[in-house]
């Protein structure tokens, strides 16, 4: 009985052409070999099982081939190629950095580098898992890696590029390996199944490729396991049962139940999933992926993002026609929130069931939001119609048998009332004019949110007080018109300014004390301000000021206006340098004093 060799080793690529899913790297390496432009050090980095070590071995074998093919591949027939395939080559050395990560191991490697190759052009050193080297070992390796002998080539491989020192990265040509696509992996598995005379279903191979998450070695390991499980018949059902994967049919059936708002059927499907041993978090994550696949299927340009077989793709295309984009986005949001809260919930099953119930009623919520709500145009015109008048359009209100109703977009079904309410009868019979309700006055609510308060913009500040004045006159009315002296006016003016100061409004208080009002004509006064800001501040205090002055002086003809004086708008010195310049302009000797003693502004 022959020893069994796993597919990952038996079908390991031996040439660049047989490498799966890394054409951008294999083409670069072949061109470098044909043009004799090989670097002294390479760094292969990427996820596990994508071909880093395989490409390193193929590169080491090809550069020492004595009969290189025109396409840049090794001949596999020369003594160098045969010695490599048999594992007894003296010119290709592999080092596991995970178990040889000390400075002494690197020193031993450096000693070996000094020995030239035997019967070959290059001496190649493949160091796997190079990120496991210690920092001291990296530092000891720097000089040799940067300036090795002309016959030495280093190929480093790692899955964790971020752990390698930047000084090492700068001395290597870096090749980033991609995750292998689902289609490439499924085709490779199909070719191996054909060579081994194994029956298979394409859907089953696609499931294996998706479960492998971009790693071909993982896919081949699962493939061998399922071949043994299914007795060389890899079917979709055998893959689902062996890998403990939720069937696509569960997600399609649950989505159908959600679209029909069948809550009972949805909960029963979820109970069946839990009974089969699946975790709720695994289910809700798969349901989110299902909604995502339905969403990308809605557009032909994103159809390539769907990495499933053609049979499953047809099911997605069919179901995506029944699901709207708004439903899918809302359902994905609910599923995502459930996934985030699942681990923190004490009742995890209820968490998932609550999410499913929310999804079930999404379409009802959408229909309520989109149902038009219109007002009846004229009840008397509707009453003129005969009782047997056909039903009106489903989007307009109807009055049937003296009953006022609003009809939505749903199929029209009318129910007559035996009698109408007194309020409706009174409105219809009297043809009363429409009553416009008064706008309620705003009420202060403690601790109310700030969203209910509309804050005016800067450009609307000048119009705010005018608008208020138009809506509600803030000035008190009266007929009194007694005479008063200017001194009496200034006395009451200062008394009002004192109340403003006591209230803490110092910016307004400054306006009252900076300039004395001038009397332009009897009972008409003018206040000079410096800028627009002061004008706006004074305008806000004008109604209470005039009311105070009119009542105390018993004259309702008093008016106080403002005027901006451009000459007053002189720039005042604020900083130390501005103060110095202002003082030096008045006394030039100050500049001489500052220069003589080398004084600073501080």
Confidence of residue 482 (pLDDT cuts 50, 70, 90): confident
What CATH architecture applies to the domain 248-368? Up-down Bundle (1.20)
Mean pLDDT to the nearest integer, 276-298:
90
pLDDT digits (tens, 9 = 90+) for 245-254: 888 888 999 9
154: pLDDT strictly greater than 60: yes
- DSSP sequence for 557-599: T-EEEEEE-GGG-PPPP-SHHHHHHHHHHH-THHHHHHHHHT-
Confidence of residue 21 (pLDDT cuts 50, 70, 90): confident
Work out the number of other CB atoms within 10 angstroms of the CB of residue 83.
18
What is the dotted CATH code of the domain comprising 458-568? 3.30.300.180
Token look-up 């289609």 returns 183
- Lowest mean pLDDT, pick from 49-53, 86-90, 401-405: 401-405
Give the CA count within 13 Å in the CB-facing half-sphere of 125: 27
Q: How far apart are CA 156 and CA 154, in angstroms?
A: 6
Percent of the chain with pLDDT strictly greater than 90: 12
What is the dotted CATH code of the domain comprising 182-243? 1.10.8.60
Q: How far apart are CA 120 and CA 84, in angstroms?
A: 12
334: pLDDT strictly greater than 90: yes
Q: 567 versus 127: which is more confidently predicted?
A: 127
Q: Is 6 left (phi over 0), alpha (psi -120 to 50) or beta?
A: beta
Confidence of residue 578 (pLDDT cuts 50, 70, 90): confident
Give the CA count within 13 Å in the CB-facing half-sphere of 34: 11
Q: Which residues contact 264 (CB under 8 A, 6 or more apart)?
A: none
Of 194, 196, 161, the residue nearest 175 (C-alpha): 161
- Lowest mean pLDDT, pick from 146-160, 363-377, 397-411, 496-510: 397-411
Q: How far apart are CA 79 and CA 64, in angstroms?
A: 10
525: pLDDT strictly greater than 90: no
Mean pLDDT to the nearest integer, 117-122:
83
- With H, G, I as helix, E, B as strand and everything else as coil, classify residue 424: helix
Sign of CA dihedral 211, 217, 223, 229: negative
pLDDT digits (tens, 9 = 90+) for 123-144: 899 998 889 988 888 888 888 8
User: Taking the domains of the chain in order of start, what are their residue ranges?
Assistant: 7-176, 182-243, 248-368, 379-430, 458-568
Of 323, 297, 319, the residue nearest 308 (C-alpha): 297
Q: How far apart are CA 316 and CA 302, in angstroms?
A: 13
Mean pLDDT to the nearest integer, 112-129:
87
Strand partners, 481: 555
Residue 112 CA from chain centroid, whole number:
53
pLDDT of 439: 46
- Lowest mean pLDDT, pick from 181-185, 229-233, 340-344, 529-533: 529-533
pLDDT digits (tens, 9 = 90+) for 57-107: 999 888 888 888 888 888 888 888 888 888 888 888 888 888 888 888 889
Report the helix count and the strand count for the chain, using DSSP H and E. 26, 12
Q: Is 562 left (phi over 0), alpha (psi -120 to 50) or beta?
A: beta
Q: How far apart are CA 128 and CA 43, in angstroms?
A: 10
Of 177, 174, 199, 175, the residue nearest 189 (C-alpha): 199
Q: 144 versus 398: which is more confidently predicted?
A: 144
Task: Quote the DSSP letter at residue 323.
Answer: S
Of 179, 208, 324, the residue nearest 255 (C-alpha): 324
What CATH architecture applies to the domain 7-176? 3-Layer(aba) Sandwich (3.40)
Report how far apart, in Å, the C-alpha atoms of 117 and of each of 34, 367, 486 are. 21, 79, 114
- With H, G, I as helix, E, B as strand and everything else as coil, classify residue 526: strand
Q: 63, 124 in Cβ contact below 8 A?
A: yes
Q: 67, 78 in Cβ contact below 8 A?
A: yes
Q: 333 versus 427: which is more confidently predicted?
A: 333
Q: 91, 117 in Cβ contact below 8 A?
A: yes
288: pLDDT strictly greater than 90: yes
- Name the helix (H) or strand (E) containing 529: strand 524-529
Of 114, 118, 173, 168, the residue nearest 143 (C-alpha): 168
- Name the helix (H) or strand (E) containing 125: strand 123-128
Confidence of residue 567 (pLDDT cuts 50, 70, 90): low
Q: How far apart are CA 141 and CA 334, in angstroms?
A: 53
- DSSP sequence for 131-147: GGS-HHHHHHHHHHHHS
Quote the pTM value: 0.54
- DSSP sequence for 70-97: TTS---S-SHHHHHHHHT--SSEEEEET
Q: How far apart are CA 494 and CA 111, in angstroms?
A: 99
- Lowest mean pLDDT, pick from 18-27, 174-183, 461-470, 483-492: 461-470
Percent of the chain with pLDDT strictly greater than 70: 80
What phi and psi values does residue 130 have, to the nearest 5 degrees? Answer: -65, -20
pLDDT of 572: 61
- Name the helix (H) or strand (E) containing 313: helix 310-320
Q: Which residues contact 127 (CB under 8 A, 6 or more apart)?
A: 94, 95, 97, 154, 155, 156, 157
Mean pLDDT to the nearest integer, 260-265:
90
Structure tokens at 562: 């403002």
Of 198, 197, 192, 128, the residue nearest 160 (C-alpha): 128
Asked if the domains 7-176 and 182-243 are classified in one and the same CATH topology, the answer is no
- DSSP sequence for 32-77: HHHTT---SEEEEE-STTSSHHHHHHHHHHHHT-SS--TTS---S-
Q: How far apart are CA 481 and CA 558, in angstroms?
A: 9
Work out the number of other CB atoms within 10 angstroms of the CB of residue 539.
16
Give 473-503 as a 3 state SS string. Answer: CCCCCCCCECCCCHHHHHHHHHHHHHHHHHC
Token look-up 């490697």 returns 109
pLDDT of 321: 87
């Amino acid at each position: 009985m022959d020893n069994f060799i796993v597919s990952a080793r038996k079908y390991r690529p031996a040439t660049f052409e047989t490498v799966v899913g890394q054409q951008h790297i294999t083409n670069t390496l072949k061109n470098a070999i044909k043009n004799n432009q090989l670097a002294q050090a390479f760094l292969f980095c990427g996820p596990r099982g994508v071909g880093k070590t395989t490409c390193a071995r193929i590169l080491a074998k090809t550069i020492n081939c004595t009969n290189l093919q025109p396409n840049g591949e090794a001949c596999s027939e020369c003594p160098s190629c045969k010695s490599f395939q048999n594992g007894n080559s003296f010119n290709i050395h592999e080092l596991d950095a995970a178990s040889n990560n000390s400075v002494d191991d690197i020193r031993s490697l450096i000693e070996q580098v000094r020995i030239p190759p035997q019967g070959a052009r290059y001496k190649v050193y493949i160091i796997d898992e190079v990120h496991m080297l210690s920092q001291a070992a990296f530092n000891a390796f720097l000089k040799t890696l940067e300036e090795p002998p002309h016959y030495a080539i280093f190929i480093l491989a790692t899955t964790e590029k971020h752990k390698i020192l930047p000084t090492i990265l700068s001395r290597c040509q870096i090749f980033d390996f991609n995750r292998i696509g689902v289609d490439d992996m499924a085709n490779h598995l199909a070719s191996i199944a054909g060579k081994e005379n194994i029956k298979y279903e394409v859907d089953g191979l696609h499931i294996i490729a998706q479960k492998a998450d971009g790693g071909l070695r993982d896919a081949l390991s699962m493939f061998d396991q399922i071949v043994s499980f299914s007795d060389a018949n890899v079917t979709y059902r055998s893959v689902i049962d062996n890998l403990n994967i939720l069937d696509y049919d569960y997600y399609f059936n649950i989505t159908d139940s959600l679209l029909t708002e069948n809550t009972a059927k949805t909960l029963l499907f979820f109970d069946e999933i839990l009974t089969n041993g699946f975790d709720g978090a695994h289910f809700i994550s798969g349901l989110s992926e299902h909604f995502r696949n339905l969403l990308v299927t809605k557009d032909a340009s994103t159809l390539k993002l769907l990495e499933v077989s053609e049979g499953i793709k047809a099911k997605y295309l069919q179901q995506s026609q029944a699901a709207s984009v708004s439903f899918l986005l809302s359902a994905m949001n609910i599923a995502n929130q459930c996934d985030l809260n699942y681990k923190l919930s004490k009742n995890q099953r209820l968490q998932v069931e609550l999410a499913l119930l929310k999804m079930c009623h999404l379409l009802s919520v959408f229909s309520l939001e989109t149902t038009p709500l219109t007002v009846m145009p004229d009840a008397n015109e509707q009453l003129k119609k005969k009782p047997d008048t056909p039903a009106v359009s489903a989007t307009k209100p109807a009055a049937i048998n003296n009953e006022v109703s609003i009809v939505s977009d749903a199929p029209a079904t009318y129910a007559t009332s035996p009698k109408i309410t007194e309020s409706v009868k009174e409105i219809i019979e009297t043809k009363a004019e429409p009553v416009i309700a008064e706008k309620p006055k705003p009420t202060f609510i403690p601790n109310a949110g700030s969203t209910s308060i509309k804050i005016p913009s800067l450009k609307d500040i000048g119009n705010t007080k005018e608008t208020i004045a138009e809506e509600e006159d803030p000035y008190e009315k009266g007929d009194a018109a007694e005479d008063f002296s200017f001194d009496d006016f200034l006395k009451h003016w200062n008394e009002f300014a004192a109340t403003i100061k006591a209230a803490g409004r110092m910016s307004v208080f400054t306006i009252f004390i900076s300039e004395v009002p001038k009397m332009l004509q009897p009972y008409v006064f003018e206040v000079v301000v410096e800028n627009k800001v002061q004008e706006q501040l004074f305008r806000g205090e004008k109604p209470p000021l005039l009311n105070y002055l009119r009542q105390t002086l018993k004259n309702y003809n008093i008016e106080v206006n403002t005027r901006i004086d451009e000459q007053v708008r002189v720039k005042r010195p604020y900083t130390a340098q501005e103060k110095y310049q202002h003082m030096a302009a008045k006394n030039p000797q100050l500049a001489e004093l500052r220069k003589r003693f080398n004084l600073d502004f501080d």
